[in-house]
């Protein structure tokens, strides 16, 4: 007898089979005893009288749980367990050893091979029933958790893909300034936002924002900010008014824990100037003649927190060949495996060292330097870089 598929007492077939259980024992008496112990409890029961038959059935049927005798001819239970755990198609099956062996070393050997439990013969029906029920319940719970996690990951991945669609599909080019950008969320969706708007007279409006926190709440607020920015009359012609408008628009969030740092700028390549309004955001870096400096700004409080009756702005003259680097603090605060942060001096040095490269290549070089620093540690925060070169 290689397989047994019993019918519950009363002759009624199972309408919704539960877990599939494979019983393996070279003793027909023991095999029959275990099968009868578990009959009528909603399980689909299979049986094998030796190790090779057990492996063949397991690879074809993929049982949820295997009650496996240790002492068998040809292939003993340890060898069968090793083969099961080494096969991707059967490695997830729960293995519970059945054996008269009571030595601690034998139990340890079985557990080290991947078994989940050990029942000592002669078996006690109540013990078998309870242990099998516990293992099956735990397995079903773990599977439900995995299914829920997989559904959540699919939803988050879809949200992340949708969020990327609301970022600029392409940056302006060939109009007095060259733009290059990098955007990476710490999770599937994040709270960083950047945008560039061509304006009349060859000017450009630029905005970079960083919503507090990570994940779905930040991504939702980020999407709302993007919608508000695109609804602002005249886009970013007035950087200070842009930030005041955003803050007023989200007055309903002033009492919430959410806030956002933001930097709005007006780039004029023909007059070679930049006007910047800053709400708690890191100021941009200026690369000029091979040297990097922090471009001074007059910052106010982050937006979405309280009324901002006055938002100052600062105008700076630019030179041909100047490069401006806007970024979020997820870049400078990126940790390495020892919890050291990438920090502003490293970003400054990297920006300076890579300044001979074309803007798009320089952004890639900055990201590579950041990733090398962080080694294998995943980012804890969203990261955004926006590079502008005045032609």
- DSSP symbol at 250: T
How far apart, in whole angstroms, are the C-alpha atoms of residue 30 and residue 6? 16
The pLDDT of residue 91: 92
Q: Which helix (H) or strand (E) holds 77?
A: helix 77-86
Residue whose entry in the numeric block shows the structure tokens 């890579």:
354
3-state secondary structure of 364: helix
Domains and CATH numbers, the chain: 20-146 (3.40.50.2300), 168-390 (3.60.40.10)
What the block records as the tokens of 33 is 């005893």
What are residue 10's phi and psi, to 5 degrees?
95, -10
The pLDDT of residue 185: 82
The pLDDT of residue 234: 63
The pLDDT of residue 7: 36
Cβ burial, residue 371 (10 Å; 0-12/13-18/19+)? middle
Which residues of the chain are under the pLDDT cut of 70? 1-17, 101-105, 159-160, 174, 187-189, 234-236
Task: Give which of 381, 363, 10, 384 is closest to 164, Cα–Cα.
Answer: 384
What the block records as the tokens of 116 is 């989940």
Q: Give the 3-state secondary structure percentages of the chain, helix then strand then coil, rounded to 5.
A: 40, 25, 40
The pLDDT of residue 260: 95
Sign (positive/negative) of CA torsion 290, 292, 296, 300? positive
pLDDT tens per residue across span 324-344:
999 999 999 999 999 999 999
Q: What's the pTM value of the predicted model, to 2 decimals?
A: 0.68
| Number of other residues whose CB lies within 10 A of the CB of residue 223 | 18
């Amino acid at each position: 007898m290689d397989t047994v598929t019993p019918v519950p007492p009363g002759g009624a077939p199972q309408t919704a089979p539960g877990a599939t259980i494979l019983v393996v024992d070279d003793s027909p008496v023991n095999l029959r005893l275990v099968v009868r112990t578990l009959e009528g409890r909603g399980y689909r029961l299979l049986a094998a009288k030796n190790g090779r038959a057990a492996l063949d059935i397991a690879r074809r049927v993929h049982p949820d749980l295997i009650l496996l005798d240790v002492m068998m001819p040809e292939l003993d239970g340890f060898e069968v367990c090793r083969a099961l755990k080494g096969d991707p198609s059967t490695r997830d099956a729960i293995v519970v050893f059945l054996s008269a062996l009571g030595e601690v070393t034998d139990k340890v050997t079985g557990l080290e091979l991947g078994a989940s439990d050990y029942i000592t013969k002669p078996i006690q029906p109540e013990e078998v029933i309870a242990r099998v029920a516990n293992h099956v319940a735990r397995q079903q719970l773990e599977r439900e958790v995995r299914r829920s996690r997989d559904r959540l990951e699919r939803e988050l991945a879809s949200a992340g893909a949708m969020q990327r669609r609301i970022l600029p599909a392409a940056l302006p080019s060939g109009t007095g300034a060259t733009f290059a950008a990098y955007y990476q969320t710490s999770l599937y969706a994040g709270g960083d936002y950047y945008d560039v708007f061509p304006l009349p007279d060859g000017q450009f409006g630029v905005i970079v924002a960083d919503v507090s926190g990570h994940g779905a709440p930040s991504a939702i607020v980020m999407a709302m900010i993007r919608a508000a920015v695109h609804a602002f009359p005249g886009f970013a012609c007035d950087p200070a008014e842009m930030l005041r408008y955003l803050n007023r628009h989200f007055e309903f969030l002033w009492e919430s824990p959410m806030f956002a740092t933001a930097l709005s700028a007006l780039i004029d390549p023909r007059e070679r100037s930049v006007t910047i309004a800053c709400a708690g955001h890191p100021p941009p870096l200026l690369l000029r003649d091979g040297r990097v400096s922090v471009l001074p700004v007059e910052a106010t409080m982050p937006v979405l927190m309280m009324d901002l009756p006055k938002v100052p702005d600062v105008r700076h003259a630019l030179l041909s060949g100047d490069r401006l680097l806007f970024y979020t603090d997820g870049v400078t605060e990126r940790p390495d495996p020892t919890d050291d942060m990438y920090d502003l001096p490293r970003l400054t040095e990297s920006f300076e060292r890579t300044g001979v490269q074309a803007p798009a290549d320089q952004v890639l070089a900055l990201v590579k330097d950041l990733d090398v620093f962080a080694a294998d540690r995943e980012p804890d925060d969203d990261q955004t870089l926006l590079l502008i070169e005045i032609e």
